[in-house]
Amino acid sequence: MNDASSTQTRKRNTSIDLVKGIIVVLMCLDHTRTFFHYSAYHFNPTNVSLSSLPVFLTRWITHFCEPVFCFTAGLSAFYLRQRMDLPTLSNFLIKRGIWLIVADLTLINFGWHFDPRVQTLLLGVFWMLGWSMIILSALIYLPRKALLIVCVSIIAGHQLLDQITSSSFTWTLLHRSRFIHLTTIDRNIWSGDPLIPWSAVMGLGYGLGTLFLKDTQESRNRLTLMGVISLVVFILLRLGNTYGDPGNFRLYPGQSDKSLMSFLNVTKSPPSVQYLLLMLGTFFLVIPRVSGGSGWLSRKLAVFGRVPFFFYLLHIYAIHIVAMIVAATTGYGWKSMVVPVWVTEQNSLKHFGFPLAVVFLIWLAILFLLYPACKWYDKYKRSHPHFWWLHYL
């Protein structure tokens, strides 16, 4: 690899780290809002009739997290393909997928609940990423064009499957978002991240890997074109109001803020076609414009982006511990933060929480608290590439 090519690759890798850093920081904001904003205990922030524009946007901006997480996971697999043969990469994806599934069911679920009885299992983002990696371990054997056709077809057409109304456990995991009660283990399960279409989003990231391998004008132009096309199709579908998220948009005469919220209020769980077009289209437009960010803030964010799973584990526990301390010191008791289902469903916390400005201050404090640990781990990980287990954190 010549010097120019090496520089292009390094700049693009820095861009991806920066974008992932922005995403995990926004994710932290959403989870901080969940625990600490008073309105979270009363209504969904994307409920247009009840929410305000600042509250809505604080939640809405974090809708980018999951698509970018999933897409860049496929992209990371493509990067690994540059130094691994297919069988080795497939084996790695299977093992990492299993690890993420186990971590989601144990470490992450306990971080959300702090309830050793585990009355509710949340099949969350890392459950979805783990299974999607296992599926990707097979998809990587397809020719690139065939892989892209399969993934784009699933993303564009998966809502045609909405006509299947089966409530079986398997179909729920594949294509629905709902609570399930498993009588065999007497536990509630929340399945919010169906593998159709998320596994296709990860496959798309792998299939489009060549566009991200080097930071060239040609790749930037193609990503920009993809972004523009995705957003134009989103706008047409949104205004048509017939496919991809039908009936979810309406105008509020004399209330421009409500109309804007309604237009942007795409369905995240399960992910609608319009949701994926808006989020991935914006990502395609943004990534060519953050190439090689080298400012102070960019460098800090990139640290978080290089250790996303490590950050996720830390931030869930940090937010929950801080929430427990605050609840104990404000008269609610620390036990109110032992959560059997979901924190905002706790009846004892209906008057808990703070204004949005305070939530932002708590969010910044959490990031300040976690940065040294993430910086240390990032340095340790990069200085010990021979430690195989570091690839799983």
Has residue 291 got a pLDDT over 80? no
Please state, in angstroms and rounded to a whole number, the distance separating the CA atoms of residues 125 and 106.
13
Mean pLDDT of the chain: 91
Q: Name the H helices within the chain.
A: 3-36, 53-60, 65-81, 86-103, 109-113, 125-139, 144-157, 169-175, 195-207, 209-213, 217-240, 256-264, 273-286, 296-306, 308-329, 356-383
Q: What is the pLDDT of residues 201-248, one digit of tens each?
A: 999 999 999 998 877 889 999 999 999 999 999 999 999 988 999 878
Closest CA to 147 of 85, 59, 78: 78
Mean pLDDT computed over 352-371: 97
Contact 104, 127 (CB under 8 A): yes
pTM exceeding the 0.85 threshold for the entire prediction: yes
| Residue 4 pLDDT class (50, 70, 90 cuts) | very low
Q: Is 70 exceeded by the pLDDT of residue 36?
A: yes
Q: What is the per-residue pLDDT across 90-113, written as a single tens digit (0 to 9) for each?
A: 999 999 999 999 999 999 999 999
Longest dimension (CA), the chain: 63
pLDDT band with cut points at 50, 70 and 90 for residue 259:
very high
The mean pLDDT of 156-167, rounded to a whole number, is: 90
From edge to edge, which strands make up the β-sheet containing 187-191? 120-123, 187-191, 178-182
Please, which residues bridge with residue 187 across strands? Answer: 182
